[in-house]
Amino acid sequence: MATEQLLKNSSLKVPAVEVIDLLSDEEIETGGATTQRVSRDAPNDELYREEEGGEEGWESESLYADALEGMGDEHLFEGEPDACTLDEALAFRKRLRAIGEDRFVLETVEAGTISAKKLCTAFGIRPPPFLENAPDEAYYPLLGLGITRELSKRLKLSKYNTVDDAVKLLRKSKNIIVLTGAGISTSLGIPDFRSKDTGLYSKLEHLGLSDPQEVFDIEIFREDPSIFYSVAKDILPTTKRFSPTHAFIRLLQDKGKLLTNFTQNIDNIEGHAGIRPEKLIQCHGSFATASCLKCKHKVSCQEIYKDLKAGNVARCARCYRELLGVRKQGLKRKRGSDNTRKAKKRRSSEEDTEDEGEYDLPEAGVMKPDITFFGEDLPATFHDRLVKHDKALVDLVIVIGTSLKVAPVSEVVGFLPPNVPQIYISRTPVSHVNFDIDMLGDCDIVVAELCRRAGWELTHEMVPKDQSVDVKVQLGYESRHVFKVIDP
């Protein structure tokens, strides 16, 4: 039975919303509709279209997404009821690649050697509660998705495993792509987005949104910009300090090794750290400038800083000046309840005031910081730099402080040549990308230790000169390392 048949042959009738991204285990967040792939041959930009029963479709979308995110290798290692062990999972994945999907399905599920429900766990899928007590065939769609996702992953390069391997790569590489996320700024007191209890999204429940990401949805911003402005002060950069991780990227630049820093951050701290504009791609824009949604007038964000800090919706100064220049007699008077124009009232000069309530006055445009909202295109420089320049030159990829959940930046590591080594540095691992070396812990601690081992001087006030770091291989993994500072 081919994977496509697994996707179809289910006794459970699921709405036509096979809503899982098969190139990663996350939904592709592009704002508005959610881009999904229902098979490897489906168009990459096929959008879910709400039909009759659409609300049920969106609920199933969430349930399937939770299932695909639900079981990383760390769970298999620790042991989960009715799940494959980590060794079994690794063996199944290896066998799948060796013999292909059709033969793999025939010798496993079709041969009755393992249930589809249990085999799902080998591919990082936690059997969802809504399928409890369903026949095994009900798990075929999920298994088909898991198999296709596994085959789409880049294979880990087996020769890179240790911290010393990472250090050697740093020393010899000359064109390093560094892809960064919010985790490199948290040591400065700037919250990330997704951390439980401390991330920005966890603090937005009071807004009453169905999804906290709606704060950064361009359509919602156009409808009600006050929602964004009410939280803007919490993400507005207020410091020109930079973290040791920013200093590490600057050090790579100074050594002539930095090809490009692709940052998802909007805090503009890379500039404070001295990363040159020609080495920096701000994938999601920044707070450096703001533009009017109506007339497109662009200003420095300093001009609307007071409004951002106060939570007030900023309006365009140029629009306002133009409106002030409009002669009052050129404005349309409001109609009365009887749909007739209000009669003009003769006033003395003392009574003649700017009573704007009598007029249909156009408003000045809303100023939007030039950060990329869900539903907006990324800057053209992102695509041009990656495709036309970096892909042919890169010799090392370092991903720092991001869970790689937002497309299209999340797709960068899969787009680059698979023979280029990839290193991951963050507090927690990701399961939807096969990095060659995972280094887990505080980003600042990890990069400082790498520099020490490389013989590089990383000078920063937040890195004690006598700092000692304990590095241990995570049990059950050959290439996953945990970094912790040893208390003096």
Give catalytic residue positions: 284
Chain centroid to Cα 433, Å, comes to 14
- Coil, helix or strand at residue 444: helix
Got the DSSP string for 105-142?
HHHTTTTTSS-HHHHHHHTT-PPPGGGTT--GGGGHHH
Cα gap 275→269, rounded to integer Å: 9
- Coil, helix or strand at residue 214: helix
> Residue written as tokens 């033969």?
103
CB-based contacts of 428, cutoff 8 Å, min separation 6: 403, 440
What are the angstrom distances between the C-alpha of 355 and each of 290, 320, 321, 347? 31, 17, 18, 12
Phi/psi of residue 279, each to 5°?
Answer: -105, 0
Cα gap 93→74, rounded to integer Å: 16
Cα gap 409→398, rounded to integer Å: 14
